[in-house]
Structure 1
Amino acid sequence: MEPQLCHQVTDSVATVVISNPAKRNAMTAGMWRSLPPLLEGFARDPGVRALVLTGEGRTFCAGADISTLKGSSDPAQGLAAAAEEALAAFPKPTVAAVRGHCVGGGVQLAAACDLRLAEDGALFGVTPARLGIVYASSATRRLVSLVGPATAKYLLFTAELIDSGRALRTGLVDEVLPEGELDKRVAELTRTLVARSQLTQAAAKEFADGRTDRDAHWAEQARRSGDTAEGVAAFLERRTPAFTWTPPV
């Protein structure tokens, strides 16, 4: 099977699967290039309300497939950074579901997601120091925002792997699940995400990611949408709210 990003939409959740099992799901140049347009399509699809990124089988992603990037006309870091930024900018909630190795570019992708769930036994590593590669500033800043400068420097300086327990303690992942429980928890979490207000989620994502100049915009969106009134009414009537706001296409 050719290395590819497999994808499907079920119950308003888009799932993207990194599939290159012969190389532990390493990302080829073509896979890096294909991610931004794939995400753009899901962003425009009103039937998609959340996205899950995972790897085929027992590995999330072993990073970049160096053998294919070597002959690429695009700098390897440029391809990875563009894919990472497209994922970080995706306007709907994103979840990385991590099993096995999550290394190099795999950490870049996981860090660009809003939430990260890992199976016990997962291993994480940021490995450019093994290859003499300068890690992109955007990726470095995002890593620092998750784990703090001390842990980010440890990961970048040593290129050593850390286990899921340490990843949880340092903030690299949000939850660690026992073996066999990851899919169930991801399904549970995404059901919750798609039931909530997309208006609240979109505004919160912008603010949390550092954009602080759009309070008036989001206040106007809330006023026009009616989501607040619906949420309050549903709470008082003890029913599930029917939120109507959707991201503009």
Structure 2
Amino acid sequence: MSEQKKDLILTKEGSIATIVINRAEKRNALTHEMWKDLPDLLNDVEEDENIKVLIVSGAGKQAFAAGADISEFNTLRASAEGARVYNEATQNAEKKLEQLSKPTIAMIQGFCVGGGLEIALACDFRFTSDTGVFGITPAKIGIIYNLAGTKKLVDLVGPARAKDILFSGRMLDAEEAYEIGLVERLYAESELTEKTYDYANLLASRAQNSIRGLKRVITEVEYGAVVESKEIEDLILQSFDSDEYLEGVKAFQEKRKPVFK
């Protein structure tokens, strides 16, 4: 099945959902409307019990998303108040993507710049082809990047490299992005789609109770937790009462692959 929000397309095949940024003629430049529409598609993915993994990609081969639609800098983003409205939409969409309980993969080829890289940073994983080009360019246009996106960038590459990327506004090729940890996997262009969906299907075959719980625990660690809260402790202990735990133990004892529902 598929659902379209003008320039965003959601498709589902088996246990894998894909959201395509669909403005290939504009190198998938992001508009305010697209940022507002993205949470609705993410809610659909969250609520569909059959979906276990989300992949986000860009239409065509030129770009994942080449940043914001420049025309909106002279309209909606022409003042501080307009920028506030725009930023609320972008931050809401990024937060919704980051907090999705299911694993998310940004599948990147071509330009992944500005808002495009913000979306990729909000995903759990970033897989790129050797055509990938990465950058965040606030210093080229006189704006300041948001805190949530900056934190994610710093967490991935460290403070000094984050400063280099943001202060200089320079473009990084796929190899450098991989070397500094901005992306997790680097593939030939011809292999990217197959390898990304192979990994998504691998995740879909694992215990979803474990994956979603571990995603929650890792998020707590990212935001500074060093001891377990009562909520996290309960989450961990409840996993021992799950059907997936029973199947996992049984499969291990029977020396076979587990089959999780």
- TM-score bracket relative to the smaller structure: over 0.9
- Runs of at least 4 residues off by over 6 Å: none
Contact preservation (8 Å) 2:126, 2:183: yes
Whichever residue aligns with residue 116 of structure 1, its letter is: R
1:70 deviates by 4.3
- The CA distance in 1 between the partners of 2:210 and 2:126, in whole Å, is 20
Contact preservation (8 Å) 2:213, 2:236: no
Aligned-residue identity in percent: 37
- The CA distance in 2 between the partners of 1:80 and 1:158, in whole Å, is 23
5 Å-filtered alignment, 1:79-90, equals: 79-90=89-100
* Alignment TM-score, normalising by the size of structure 1: 0.92
Give unmatched runs, 5+ long, in structure 2.
77-81
1:236 deviates by 2.3
- The CA distance in 2 between the partners of 1:235 and 1:229, in whole Å, is 10
Is the partner of 1:230 in helix, strand or coil?
Answer: helix
Instruction: Confirm or deny that 1:28 pairs with 2:28.
Output: no
Instruction: Confirm or deny that 1:156 pairs with 2:166.
Output: yes
- The CA distance in 1 between the partners of 2:100 and 2:74, in whole Å, is 28
Aligned to 1:240: 257
Aligned to 1:142: 152
Aligned to 1:43: 46
Give the one of 71, 76, 86 matched to 2:75: 71
- The CA distance in 1 between the partners of 2:146 and 2:125, in whole Å, is 21
Instruction: Confirm or deny that 1:178 pairs with 2:188.
Output: yes
Cα deviation, 1:120-167, whole Å, max 9, x if unaligned, reads 121000111111111000110011011111110000000100011111
Contact preservation (8 Å) 2:248, 2:258: yes
Whichever residue aligns with residue 176 of structure 1, its letter is: L
Relative distance call for 1:112 and 1:174 in structure 2 (3 A) is same
Aligned to 1:194: 204
5 Å-filtered alignment, 1:91-106, equals: 91-106=101-116
1:66 deviates by 2.8
Cα deviation, 1:38-93, whole Å, max 9, x if unaligned, reads 10111011011000000001110011113136433563322222111111011100
Deviates most, 209-218 or 124-133 = 209-218
- The CA distance in 2 between the partners of 1:219 and 1:184, in whole Å, is 34
1:206 deviates by 1.2
The number of residues matched between the two structures is 243
